[in-house]
Structure 1
Amino acid sequence: MKRLILLFAVFLLSGCAYSFVGQNNAAVGGIKAIYVENIENLTTQPNLQTYFKGDIINTLKLDSRLSVVDKQLADGFLKVKIINYSVNPVSFSQSGFASRYRCSIVAVFSLFDKDGKPVIDEKQIEESEDFDAKDQVLATEKAKNKISKDVLKSLALKLRDALFVNF
């Protein structure tokens, strides 16, 4: 039993020093200070751009590899458009009524260097979340009040990841 505990402790401690130090210390194109432009909302769903910009800024501020700065201090500029918002049924009850819905949001973003040259040009990202609702009216309200905000937070994480791995 002591050997098992010792082996487990050695295994656990050996993983503590594993890291990717020195890799991706800046966004694609060497950008370390970024300005987030006002987001364009091309959907009919109001206020998505406000929530999304806040989520992007908060997500980027939590990442030590990149700082969010005023426009005059930036060496990169992020432009984002929300191009699609939908709430659709994805599962139906035995009686034929929708019981599960999916809220999906699609955005396109571009990253420009301080000279205005595109580093990432029109990259599309999409996120969705499934949720339960008794009917379309309740699904629309639930999506508007909570689910879409959760989807935007997840989309902000995807955008942050895409800034460091351009594929």
Structure 2
Amino acid sequence: DKQLSAELIQYLDTHSPEDTTQDVVELNGKNYLVSSVKSTYLDWHLVDVIPLYQILKPISLSQNLFYTCMILLLVVGISASILLYRNVQYPIQKLIKGLRRVEQGDYSVRLHSKNQNEFSFLFRRFNDMSHQIQDLIENVFHEKIRAREATLKQLQAQINPHFLYNC
């Protein structure tokens, strides 16, 4: 390019290069990296001109790739967090709420799961446990009632002969 060469020669004439230089120069409306090295044997300067966008293109490509990867990692991280919350944290909270209700004396609580995983197994075992506790408490309650009825019958049996004897 003759026009580019003319502008480069004009630049080099106004800025006398030292032994070794590297400058970013605007030539022909574009930025170029101008490198020059002085030859000690010939007393000449070896000049290399490279468009700046050619040097920066791989860097900007790597930068764009880095940003893309960071955004992708952010999306994957958020997705993993949501999945962990939904599949782990939520069932654990559900189990804790059920245990608190059992602790307060509500043995009729039952937990149900839509998925077939480890938590559904825990929920089934929790339901079995609360059902067994409810049955045991009902059995104890019925036994107490029967014991009171038996005590009342025994007292009535003691009272009836005395009442008949006194009459």
TM-score (norm 2): 0.21
Larger relative helix fraction: 2
Larger relative strand fraction: 1
Which is greater in Rg? Answer: 2
